[in-house]
Amino acid sequence: MTTSRSLVDNLPQPIAVVTESGGVDYKNGAFDETFGTDAIQWLKEAARAVAGERGWLHGFFVEGDDLQTIDVEIEGRVYRVDRILRVTEDDVPKVALSFEDVTREREAEQAKSDFTAQIVHDLRGPLSGIQGTLEFILSADTKLDTMYADLLQEAQRESERMMNLINEILDFSKIKSGNFIVEQEPVRVAGVLKRAVRSLQQVAARDEVFLISAHGRDVPQIIGSVEKLTQAVINLISNSLKFTPQKGLVSVGAQIERKGDAPEAIVITVTDSGMGIKADELQSIFEKYKQSGTKSLRGGAGTGLGLYIVKQVVEAHGGEVSVASVEGVGTSMVLRLPVRRAA
């Protein structure tokens, strides 16, 4: 025991055992060296509730909670705080925490994210111009030679694909940098689905796929982000369209789950009559950089981030995602969003 203690005493990483009220039960030499006597003060602050919000220290004490690690700003630097151990001594719960200075890593990540956002923004501008021009030429009342019309349609398809890739990279960089903030506004889910379906109706018609709504107007509101949910549904529909053959069907539905009379959740489904996903790929389909082994019928490979982003959006709304698929028959993406009332 003494040897172990002396080992921890001499570890180069700051370690402390603290109580829920921020009291320090033990600290090693590196902790003293890094934080000095000021630690007593900020640990107390980390334990205190401000305006009803509990301090970050509280999260490590919640039974069954998964909080193992958190980034915290201490005296102008960013530390990654890891919970090593949770124990109860004399009925007093305590946690052993280690601290690692990650200021430089986080600054580098932020710089990378800012750079990505800037590049993406610079790429989107001219690409929107190209898309607008192509749309104008194709919809204008001009008699195009069939070969040129086909080539322009191909260019339009590829520009759409490029725009999707750019948007996915932007969303992913936001998720990675922690800047993925979900607004808290009332969302008319029926409106979200209608907008998403309308925005892809032309693509579906061009690919000769039926795209049909399968929901009424009486879908309740939820609290969240109209923009992010619309983008998530658009991602799912455009994925479905890519894997659905001509004369196939993509349907977009919403069902209400009730508890008594009150709506509890909305279940959104985007279902296609495509080629389906292999059973062994279903479990990992929402992981980043994962792509179905099934080859898309239109356009090349994507970033493998689309479904990962959809999952992040849904989870940021307190919801969950699932997938169903039968090879050769079709696939259905299922999003369950809780109905939360505005505070």
> Cα(172)–Cα(133) distance, rounded to whole angstroms?
28
Q: Which positions from 171 to 210 touch another protein by CB under 8 A, shown as an x/- string? A: ---------------------------------------x
Q: Which positions from 77 to 116 touch another protein by CB under 8 A, shown as an x/- string? A: ----------------------------------------
Segment interacting with another protein (CB under 8 A) among 164-172, 178-186, 228-236, 326-334: 326-334
Q: Which of 180, 166, 181, 244 is nearest to 207 (CA)?
A: 244
Nearer CB in complex with another protein: 29/263: 263
Q: Which residue has 């520009």 as its token pair?
A: 159
> Cα(213)–Cα(250) distance, rounded to whole angstroms?
9
Strands (E), the chain: 15-19, 24-27, 69-74, 77-89, 92-101, 185-188, 210-214, 221-224, 249-259, 262-272, 320-326, 330-338
For residue 312, the tally of other CB atoms under 10 A from its CB is 22
Backbone φ, ψ for residue 71 (5° rounding):
-90, 130
Angle between helices 103-139 and 146-177 (to 10 degrees): 160
Binding-site member from 255, 291, 294, 296 for another protein (CB under 8 A):
255
Under the binding rule (CB under 8 A), the answer on residue 333 touching another protein is yes
Task: For the chain, give the number of residues.
Answer: 343
Under the binding rule (CB under 8 A), the answer on residue 271 touching another protein is yes
**Tokens read off for 2:** 């003494």
Under the binding rule (CB under 8 A), the answer on residue 331 touching another protein is yes
Q: How far is the CB of 320 from another protein (least distance, A)?
A: 6
Q: How far is the CB of 182 from another protein (least distance, A)?
A: 21
Q: How far is the CB of 269 from another protein (least distance, A)?
A: 5
Segment interacting with another protein (CB under 8 A) among 1-9, 48-56, 286-294, 324-332: 324-332
Under the binding rule (CB under 8 A), the answer on residue 297 touching another protein is no
Q: How far is the CB of 2 from another protein (least distance, A)?
A: 38
Binding-site member from 269, 292, 303, 312 for another protein (CB under 8 A):
269
Under 8 Å CB-to-CB from 323, ≥6 apart: which residues? 277, 282, 285, 286, 331, 332, 333, 334
Binding-site member from 119, 226, 324, 338 for another protein (CB under 8 A):
324
Segment interacting with another protein (CB under 8 A) among 55-63, 90-98, 245-253, 288-296: 245-253
Q: Which positions from 210 to 239 touch another protein by CB under 8 A, shown as an x/- string? A: x-xxxxx-----------------------
> Cα(283)–Cα(300) distance, rounded to whole angstroms?
23
DSSP secondary structure letters along 166-215 = HHHHHHHHHHHHT--PPP-EEEEHHHHHHHHHHHHHHHHHHTT-EEEEE-
Under the binding rule (CB under 8 A), the answer on residue 279 touching another protein is yes
Q: Which residue has 């990483």 as its token pair?
A: 13
Under the binding rule (CB under 8 A), the answer on residue 330 touching another protein is yes
Segment interacting with another protein (CB under 8 A) among 53-61, 88-96, 243-251, 296-304: 243-251
Please report, as ranges, the residues that interact with another protein according to CB under 8 A.
210, 212-216, 247-249, 251, 253, 255, 267, 269, 271-273, 279, 282, 320, 322-334, 336
